[in-house]
């Protein structure tokens, strides 16, 4: 590593330029990872936080996609689902987008209609009380004990819960009878079923017997509005940024190695082994990546924490450390492209060219 550190110090202008480029790319990747996770939670947190193993929905017509919002499950299908092998519980949930009134002001919300006392229902939901998400509470100064008007029915706020958003709209939990009145659903109907299953559960048999489509909580998220398109677009941008970083780092170290060819030839001529030169080149790349990536990650962490109250960004191990590690790994892969010159450099040819 002596040669690598000496070379970085001697060409510190190029080293600082490359470090800045890596820092900026890392900043973009980490911030985009946090934003992707934050937007995803705003779309799906009300579903992922449910006490359920599977989410069952109405089977869509041919050519249509699964949708929790448009799904309607009949009382007969609900009864059939509850009697299937391996189904320990099937709790109905009604989902509809609407507006609730807070201090006579209409506020967009997603109603989640549940049966009070069911395992899937948050504690506090009753015929006279509701549970609201923390996003709605913070945006509209709602506190426990305040009144929320849902379709003319006044409900007292019993609790405020985190992780309760659906398709970027905060959730208000209400009794299923009130949800039916608001959505116009028939008696006994619901939108989805939250299934808790045992080892005897068979997804294919359940779907065939009930006429529904049941998916794990993770797989069911694609049935939430534009979640798949939104998440897919942001993920593609992240992948492209990482691919660009590999190309930039590989090109930089290739040029740097070409400029060092004379020094490498001298070292080979006096007996330096190829393995030593390879370790030195990889060490140089790793040091550059760690410094640049570390600066970018620290900047992203600070920006994320500062913007967390205004932007749906998530700052945790998965959105900070994982992108940083991935950037370092991909950068090393890009730097490997420069090692061909280290391996193939011929002392006599290089020294002759230097004259």
Q: What is the pLDDT of residue 162?
A: 85
In whole angstroms, what is the distance from residue 128 CA to residue 116 CA? Answer: 11
Kindly report whether the global pTM for this prediction surpasses the value 0.85. no
Q: What is the pLDDT of residue 341?
A: 64
Cβ pair 40, 231 in contact under 8 A:
yes
Q: What is the pLDDT of residue 96?
A: 93
How much of the chain, in percent, has pLDDT values that exceed 70? Answer: 86
β pairing state of 169-175 and 165-166: antiparallel
Strand partners, 194: 55, 91
Confidence tier at 297 by pLDDT (50, 70, 90): very high
Q: Is the pLDDT of residue 331 over 60?
A: yes
Could you give phi then psi for residue 337, rounded to 5 degrees?
A: -60, -25
DSSP state of 168: T
Q: Is the pLDDT of residue 284 over 90?
A: no
The radius of gyration computed from the CA coordinates of the chain, to the nearest angstrom, equals: 29
Q: What is the pLDDT of residue 237?
A: 85
Confidence tier at 241 by pLDDT (50, 70, 90): confident
pLDDT digits (tens, 9 = 90+) for 192-209: 999 999 988 999 999 999
Q: Is the pLDDT of residue 350 over 60?
A: no
Calculate mean pLDDT across residues 320-348: 77
Among the residue ranges 74-88, 189-203, 266-280, 290-304, the one predicted with the least confidence is 266-280
Q: Is the pLDDT of residue 84 over 80?
A: yes
Confidence tier at 211 by pLDDT (50, 70, 90): very high
Could you give phi then psi for residue 174, rounded to 5 degrees?
A: -135, 165
Whole-angstrom CA distances from 253 to 109, 325, 339 are 53, 19, 9
- Average pLDDT over the chain reads 85
Q: Is the pLDDT of residue 275 over 60?
A: yes
Calculate mean pLDDT across residues 172-189: 90
Confidence tier at 238 by pLDDT (50, 70, 90): confident
Q: What is the pLDDT of residue 240?
A: 86
Calculate mean pLDDT across residues 58-83: 91
Higher-scoring residue by pLDDT: 302, 1? 302
- Parse the chain into domains and list their residue ranges: 2-42+228-354, 60-210
Say how far residue 144 (Cα) sits from the centre of its chain: 30
pLDDT digits (tens, 9 = 90+) for 5-55: 666 666 666 778 788 888 998 898 899 888 888 888 888 899 999 999 999
Confidence tier at 156 by pLDDT (50, 70, 90): very high
Q: Is the pLDDT of residue 266 over 60?
A: yes
Angle at which helix 203-210 crosses helix 75-82, to 10 degrees, equals 150
Q: What is the pLDDT of residue 263?
A: 67
Cβ pair 212, 58 in contact under 8 A:
yes
Could you give phi then psi for residue 54, rounded to 5 degrees?
A: -135, 150
In whole angstroms, what is the distance from residue 243 CA to residue 106 CA? Answer: 46
Confidence tier at 352 by pLDDT (50, 70, 90): low
∠ Cα 34 39 40 (to 5°): 95
């Amino acid at each position: 590593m002596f040669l690598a550190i000496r070379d970085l110090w001697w060409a510190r202008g190029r080293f600082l330029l490359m470090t800045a480029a890596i820092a900026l790319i890392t900043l973009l990747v980490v911030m985009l990872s946090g934003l992707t996770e934050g937007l995803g939670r705003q779309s799906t947190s009300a579903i992922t936080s449910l006490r359920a193993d599977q989410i069952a929905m109405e089977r869509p017509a041919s050519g249509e996609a699964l949708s929790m919002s448009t799904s309607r499950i009949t009382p007969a299908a609900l009864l059939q689902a509850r009697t299937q092998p391996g189904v320990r519980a099937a709790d109905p949930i009604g989902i509809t987008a609407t507006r609730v009134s807070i201090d006579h002001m209409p506020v967009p919300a997603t109603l989640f209609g549940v049966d009070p006392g069911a395992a899937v229902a948050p504690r506090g939901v009753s015929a006279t009380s509701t549970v609201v998400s923390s996003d709605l509470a913070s945006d509209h100064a709602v506190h426990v004990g305040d009144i929320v008007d849902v379709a003319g029915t006044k409900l007292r706020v019993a609790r405020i819960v985190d992780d309760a958003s659906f398709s970027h709209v905060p959730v208000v939990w209400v009794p299923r009878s009130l949800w039916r009145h608001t959505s116009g659903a028939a008696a006994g109907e619901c939108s989805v079923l939250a299934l808790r299953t045992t080892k005897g559960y068979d997804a294919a048999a359940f779907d065939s017997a009930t006429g529904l489509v049941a998916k794990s909580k993770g797989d069911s998220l694609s049935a939430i509005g534009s979640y798949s398109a939104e998440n897919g677009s942001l993920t593609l941008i992240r992948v492209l940024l990482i691919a660009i970083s590999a190309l930039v780092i590989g090109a930089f170290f290739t040029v740097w190695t070409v400029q060092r060819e004379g020094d490498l030839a001298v070292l080979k001529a006096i007996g330096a082994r190829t393995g030593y030169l390879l370790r030195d080149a990889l060490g140089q790349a790793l040091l550059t990546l760690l410094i640049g990536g570390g600066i970018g990650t620290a900047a992203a962490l600070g920006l994320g924490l500062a913007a967390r109250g205004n932007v749906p960004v998530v700052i945790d191990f998965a959105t900070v450390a994982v992108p940083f590690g991935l950037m370092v790994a991909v950068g090393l892969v890009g730097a490997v492209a420069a090692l061909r010159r280290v391996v193939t450099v011929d002392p006599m040819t290089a020294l002759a060219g230097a004259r």
